[in-house]
Chain A
Amino acid sequence: MKRARAEVLSTRKVGGFHSLTLVAPEIAERARPGQFLAVEMPDGRDFVLRRHVSIHQASRRGGWAGTLEFVVEPTGPGTTWLSAVKAHEFLDVIGPLGKGFAYPKKLTNCLLVAEGRSAAALYFLAQELLLRHKRVDMVIGGETLETVFKPIEAKRLSQTVAVMTADGTLGERGGLLDALPEVVERTKTEVVYAAGDAPTLQRVAAFCRTRNLPAQVMIEEPMACGFGLCYACVVPVARADGSGYDNLRACVDGPVFNPARVLWDVWRTEAATMMPTPPEGLPVVRTWPG
């Protein structure tokens, strides 16, 4: 974990998202897929907490060596500010934070599943898996064409890609889960990696359980600090010895968890107070990372 005053090398718009590339060699060389950064907000604004973004790309070699890339979706004051940051400005960044994805030792056929901006972390993972001679397939999706993250890049990194959109503007109409049974069958999936919000991950976890597939999920939980001080981002995880559960911090004990150990019902029942279905007629508003 390092803290850096990192120069923004470039920014670009990717569909409905903004991608920022930073020069942060000390962080880039330590980063693993699934880990994230805590980005400080500017002085003199009324939003105070850092924003937590998963690492989309960390280059250790070649012309981009020492750079880091992350993706934000302007949903709140902090992410809107981040989306408007220009090249050559500086950001105070702490990272890499959290425990990243583990790579399979024996199994080879990996399926990567995510929706919207959450998919960003999986492209980094796909590269690392390819370096380890694994087969990579992807299922990505979004509400609409705009929010499917980098479908062409996905095609380049994986053997096959299934794209799902809620309105059918790109790929097939439907959700991620609609594509899973067929894709798992066809690609002979042995390991599933997923990233996203709790409801999506819970459904992926349930699917993997019925198929007896090992899986790892990257949970995007609202955080305050991002390095384990505040106990705001906890996830209930069953103890290995079966004697109940612990509320583990997603920032230091995650954000990657074994979904079979996550007590989704405990978490989601409690979470129901925080993320209920909006009443009729009100739009769904995404609030994190805000």
Chain B
Amino acid sequence: MPGVNRTLSVDLGGLVLGTPVLVASGCGGSGRETAGLVDPKKVGGVVSRTITVEARKGSPTPRVAETPSAIVWDTGLQNPGIDAFVSEELPALSRGGPPLFVSIGGRSLEEYVRLTSALQGHPEVVAIEVHLSEPDDELGRPLIGGHVDRMTEIVGACARMSLVPVFAKLPWAPTQLAELATAAMRAGAHGVVVVDAPPALAIDAQRLKPALGAATGRLAGPAVKPLTLAAVHEVARALPDVPLVAVGGVRSGLDAVEMLLAGAWALQVGTATLVDPAAPVRVAQGIARYLKGKNLASPADIRARLRLPAGAGTPEVQV
């Protein structure tokens, strides 16, 4: 097919990105750190670290431990709080940088409302990612986004208030992902991010202690890729028309292609960025090579094109 007009651009239901590869929350710093190591114009987008209403000091150190093909981490959402973020970090993150998603997190409905409202009227913010993996202080539950009622309530409040698209980042709740994604979409979300990192524990046997200061953390890195693929597959089959951003375990262009095949519209690169600041660009180039090899025009052409064996399970949730 000569003369095919090939592009890496993706359209997430009206939100157009130059490449389908974003930097995951917590791996983009405050926007200045990797100057000179990566060309920001070639990155599809950046998700800010998760911002809370009040400043947070974060977890005790150590905050990261290496395990086979992965890291266990917990930073305790260290951040300067929404006011300082808007006045100090937002200008640096957006200046000359790729499209900016701001991640917000809280422990009550009110916090999400205040965060969403503080982010309105800033044209540099192209979307809001709602982090829903904190404990729920109001209802005394361990995971604020782990229930359909709260997903509806919180994402609904953010979506009604926000002038920019709202993406719900699904918490690690296997078997409920399609249900939670459906609730988020019915409440008015623009899309979903699949899936927050699974909980993990690393132990230092010599000291009889957890390896992290915060005891338990979350798992990230190449080891979680198959988990993410299964989650993406589950949600994408239930909700094929919903913009879905995959996150977890992508390190190479082929990993990214696998995410797209499983049903992702775009994807985020996290741990790989900590090792190779140019990873988002390298991954996008890998997708481009794959498209060229298959003579396809855009990442959307491989979305959800996974060839399933006949009679493979049907989606559990229908919308």
Contact = CB atoms under 8 A, between A and B. Distances in A.
26 contacts: A1-B37, A40-B276, A41-B275, A48-B222, A48-B271, A49-B64, A222-B62, A222-B64, A224-B63, A224-B64, A227-B29, A227-B33, A229-B34, A229-B277, A230-B64, A231-B26, A231-B58, A232-B64, A232-B75, A233-B63, A267-B61, A273-B60, A273-B210, A274-B62, A274-B212, A279-B207
A227 B63 contact: no
B57 interface: yes
A273 B60 CA distance: 9
Interface string A195-227: 000000000000000000000000001111101
B36 interface: yes
Nearest to A269: B60
Nearest to B78: A231
Given A3-B37, A229-B34, A283-B206, A49 B60 contact: no
Interface of A: 1-3, 40-41, 46-50, 78, 94, 221-225, 227-236, 247, 252, 267, 270-271, 273-276, 278-279, 282-283, 285, 287, 290
A229 B213 contact: no
A290 B204 CA distance: 13
B233 interface: no
A278 to B, nearest CB: 6
A46 B70 CA distance: 8
A167 B76 CA distance: 41
Given A247-B57, A273-B213, A225 B275 contact: yes
Interface string B51-74: 000000110111110101111010
Interface in B253-308: 271, 273-278
Interface in B223-276: 271, 273-276
Which label, helix, strand, loop or mixed, suits the secondary structure of the B interface? loop
Contacts of A223: 64
B45 interface: no
A273 B274 contact: no
A274 B271 CA distance: 22
B64 A247 contact: no
Given A224-B71, A229-B34, A287-B204, A271 B277 contact: no
A274 B209 contact: yes
B61 A231 contact: no
A173 B279 CA distance: 50
A273 B59 CA distance: 12
B58 A48 contact: no
B213 A270 contact: yes
B66 A290 contact: yes
Contacts of A222: 61-62, 64
A267 B39 CA distance: 36
A215 B26 CA distance: 33
A167 B35 CA distance: 47
A279 B37 CA distance: 44
A162 B73 CA distance: 40
Contacts of A247: 57-58, 78
Contacts of B212: 274
Contacts of B78: 231, 234, 247
Given A225-B274, A229-B34, A252-B33, A48 B60 contact: no
A276 B206 CA distance: 10
